[in-house]
A and B are shown apart, each in its own frame.
Chain A
Amino acid sequence: MTEYLLETKGLRKTFGRLTAVAGVGLELTEGTLTAIIGPNGAGKTTLINLLTGLLTPDTGTVHFKGEDITRVPSHGRVRRGLSRSFQIMNIFPNLTVRQNLLLPALARRGRNLHALARLEEETGANAEAEELLREIGLWDHRDVRAGALSHGDQRLLELGIAVGTRPELCFLDEPCAGMNPIERQTVLGLMRKLSGQRRTTFVIVEHDMDVVFSLAERIIVMNHGEVLADGTPAEIRENRVVRETYLGAEV
């Protein structure tokens, strides 16, 4: 029997009379870069919120590496190897760029509780943060307050925080939103690199079809809280229903 990296069954979430996610069952396989697409209000972000513990489903289950994590809080899921970035920027704006990346490195090493150690003495976490600073191209801004960075750099930093916990599965909610082409290439390059080097499996929610079709190995199309289609980019491109309801003449 195949053990999926993440598996959901009958996942459902309603907000009053609105059904945001309507009984979604899906399996994510290790190493497959997956994109979730769909029109606004399709339930993509709600689905990610359910998978990462920000929301609790009304019904249904979420299993990660075979373990039922449906009721596990977000921080517990991160410790098990899940991570994410947010649609609305979520960094530590008043800390320096370096400190932004130091926090996930400290957490991964279980060092947050150290009350009398100097930050400089955290050599392992500092080295990890510095390596990541170079990887995301923000080394020159390392001592700048994160809130003072440009929008694109803040997006890169958020990606850095998300991968700083060394996740096995990382959800990125519109990682390229508001980025210029150079920054976008940095993000895509970093995702490819981390997929190979650290065996991080990425799942992205993205509206930019160029990004989706150039990067994803699997595409899940959502509409009205349900999975409308699921397949390879070629299969999705040829899917008549998807073309009619979402893609139109884009691809």
Chain B
Amino acid sequence: MDVGPVASAGRPRILTPGRSAIGGLILALLLLPLVGGQYAQYVAIQVLILSLFALGFNILFGYTGLLSFGQAGFYAVGAYGCAKLLLLKPSLLFGVIGGTLLAGAAALVLGVLCIRHTRIYFSMLTLAFGMMIFSMALKWRDFTGGDDGLVGIPRAPLEIPGLVSVSMASMGRYYYFVLVVSLLAIGIAYRLVHSPLGLTFQGILDSEGRMAFTGVSVRAYRLIAFVIAGLYAGLAGALLPALENTVTPPVAHWTTSADPVLATLLGGIQAFAGPIVGAFLFFMIKDIIVRFTEYWLIWLGIIVVVLVMGFRGGVVSLATARWRALRPGREGT
């Protein structure tokens, strides 16, 4: 468990290996449209979307101890909500913010019912509610378009009334929009898990009973974690319609809920960067294996099983442990 900055208090170093890696990564992401084509940008957007989806999921799972199998429901609310808003008023910010808030509202309503339970009962409830949202996406034809989904969603311009209006027609521009939004959301999540609220979530994960006897309503904080995860799932979903120009029911399917679970397990639940690294690996593995076999999910499954059985901390913890072993006596980040 990442026990936060208080645990790692020590001599501050401006350029730590971790910070250098993050700086290098951001630089590489900024330069990507200059060196990569449309496909690379498209995949990078998908990675960023899954990163946000998995990051929110891990605030609920890795930090608070609640395993949700229904996050695709909120992902879909974000996607459908944003799509409907973009069809109503072609403004990217309006659609993305609106879709995110709608997902947060859905998480608040369903969360009140789900967080009354823990462990497998919580997981099953989230799965059931997730499937209800999938059914709505499939059957509420007038609103969702049913099987066909919503089509012809415009990649609306980024408008701030009276200030700026930037066309998002090119993939490159939309890529930069998604990158900025993602970096902001990742930064907020980082701040959050290292804040009093993040420590409270970790306290609930460690001992609910003890946490209640510090004077904290465990249920209320579980709900907060659930809504935050819902907002991140919603934001991830809201970035999808302008990319694909369409939203279809599979975004709400329970198999979509498995994506952030797999990404988080790949990267590691015990590190903040785990879900982000996991999302990247998820797409890399998929991209490589798909060239050899259409059954890429079987191979991904095998990799996850090996990681879970052999290296519970995922790739990030494994890499951190190796780094520390190579540089004994020096603290990583």
- Assess whether A115 is in contact with B214, with CB atoms less than 8 Å apart: no
Q: How far is the CB of A127 from chain B (nearest CB, A)?
A: 13
How would residues 9 to 22 of chain B score, 1 for a CB under 8 Å from any chain A CB and 0 otherwise?
10000000000000
Alpha-carbon gap, A118 to B215, bound state (A): 21
Q: Which among A91, A93, A118 is the interface contact of B5 at CB below 8 angstroms?
A: A118
- Assess whether A107 is in contact with B214, with CB atoms less than 8 Å apart: yes
Q: Which among B197, B198, B207 is the interface contact of A92 at CB below 8 angstroms?
A: B207
Alpha-carbon gap, A163 to B254, bound state (A): 45
Binds A, one of B105-113, B141-149, B188-196: B188-196
Chain A contacts for B224, CB-based, 8 A: 113
Q: B206 at the A/B interface (Cβ < 8 Å)? A: yes
Q: A99 at the A/B interface (Cβ < 8 Å)? A: yes
Question: For chain A, which range describes its interface: under 10, 10 to 19, 20 to 34, or 35 or more residues?
Answer: 35 or more
Q: How far is the CB of B107 from chain A (nearest CB, A)?
A: 16
- Assess whether A99 is in contact with B212, with CB atoms less than 8 Å apart: no
Looking at A52, A74, A84, the one whose CB has the most chain B CB atoms below 10 A away is A74
Alpha-carbon gap, A120 to B221, bound state (A): 21
Closest to B7 in A: A96
Looking at B5, B207, B209, B218, the one whose CB has the most chain A CB atoms below 10 A away is B207
Binds B, one of A75-83, A179-187, A203-211, A226-234: A75-83
Alpha-carbon gap, A118 to B199, bound state (A): 10
Residues of A26-77 at the interface with B, using a CB-CB cut-off of 8 Å, are 52, 54, 73-76
Q: B3 at the A/B interface (Cβ < 8 Å)? A: yes
Chain A contacts for B207, CB-based, 8 A: 90-93
- Assess whether A116 is in contact with B202, with CB atoms less than 8 Å apart: no
Q: A1 at the A/B interface (Cβ < 8 Å)? A: no
Q: A145 at the A/B interface (Cβ < 8 Å)? A: yes
Q: Which among A84, A94, A103, A126 is the interface contact of B200 at CB below 8 angstroms?
A: A103
- Assess whether B5 is in contact with A120, with CB atoms less than 8 Å apart: yes
Closest to B202 in A: A95
Q: B34 at the A/B interface (Cβ < 8 Å)? A: no
Closest to B205 in A: A94
Q: Which among B188, B210, B211, B221 is the interface contact of A116 at CB below 8 angstroms?
A: B188
Chain A contacts for B192, CB-based, 8 A: 115-116
Alpha-carbon gap, A239 to B135, bound state (A): 71
For B, the interface residue count at a CB cutoff of 8 angstroms equals 34
- Assess whether A113 is in contact with B215, with CB atoms less than 8 Å apart: no
Q: A6 at the A/B interface (Cβ < 8 Å)? A: no
Closest to A105 in B: B214
Q: A21 at the A/B interface (Cβ < 8 Å)? A: no
Q: Which among B5, B188, B209, B215 is the interface contact of A107 at CB below 8 angstroms?
A: B215
- Assess whether B3 is in contact with A94, with CB atoms less than 8 Å apart: yes
Q: How far is the CB of A228 from chain B (nearest CB, A)?
A: 28
Chain B contacts for A116, CB-based, 8 A: 188, 191-192, 195
Q: A143 at the A/B interface (Cβ < 8 Å)? A: yes
- Assess whether B199 is in contact with A91, with CB atoms less than 8 Å apart: no
Q: B318 at the A/B interface (Cβ < 8 Å)? A: no
Alpha-carbon gap, A241 to B9, bound state (A): 57
- Assess whether A90 is in contact with B199, with CB atoms less than 8 Å apart: no
Q: How far is the CB of B161 from chain A (nearest CB, A)?
A: 27
Q: A111 at the A/B interface (Cβ < 8 Å)? A: yes
A106 with B3, Cβ < 8 A, contacts A115-B192, A161-B214 known: no
- Assess whether B213 is in contact with A52, with CB atoms less than 8 Å apart: yes
Q: B241 at the A/B interface (Cβ < 8 Å)? A: no
Chain B contacts for A175, CB-based, 8 A: none
Q: How far is the CB of B303 from chain A (nearest CB, A)?
A: 27
Alpha-carbon gap, A106 to B5, bound state (A): 16
- Assess whether B199 is in contact with A94, with CB atoms less than 8 Å apart: no
Looking at B192, B200, B218, B224, the one whose CB has the most chain A CB atoms below 10 A away is B200
Chain A contacts for B6, CB-based, 8 A: 96, 98-99, 102, 119-120, 126, 143
Q: A225 at the A/B interface (Cβ < 8 Å)? A: no
Chain B contacts for A91, CB-based, 8 A: 207, 210
Looking at B1, B199, B205, B214, the one whose CB has the most chain A CB atoms below 10 A away is B214
- Assess whether A112 is in contact with B4, with CB atoms less than 8 Å apart: no
Chain B contacts for A84, CB-based, 8 A: 213
- Assess whether B196 is in contact with A75, with CB atoms less than 8 Å apart: no
Chain B contacts for A117, CB-based, 8 A: 195-196
How would residues 158 to 181 of chain A score, 1 for a CB under 8 Å from any chain B CB and 0 otherwise?
000110110000000000000000
Closest to B210 in A: A90
Q: Which among A52, A75, A112, A125 is the interface contact of B197 at CB below 8 angstroms?
A: A112
A95 with B206, Cβ < 8 A, contacts A78-B215, A106-B196, A114-B196 known: yes
Binding site for A on B (CB under 8 A): 1, 3-7, 9, 188, 191-192, 194-200, 202-203, 205-207, 209-218, 221, 224
Extra contacts, 15 of them, besides A91-B210, A93-B206, A118-B191 (Cβ < 8 A), are: A73-B212, A75-B218, A79-B215, A93-B207, A95-B3, A99-B7, A103-B199, A112-B200, A112-B216, A113-B196, A113-B224, A115-B191, A119-B195, A125-B196, A161-B213
Please list the 5 inter-chain residue pairs (A to B) with the smallest Cβ-Cβ separation, ordered nearest first. A78-B215, A92-B206, A107-B215, A107-B214, A104-B214
* CB<8 Å pairs between A and B, sample of 8: A92-B203, A95-B206, A107-B214, A108-B215, A115-B192, A115-B198, A120-B6, A143-B7
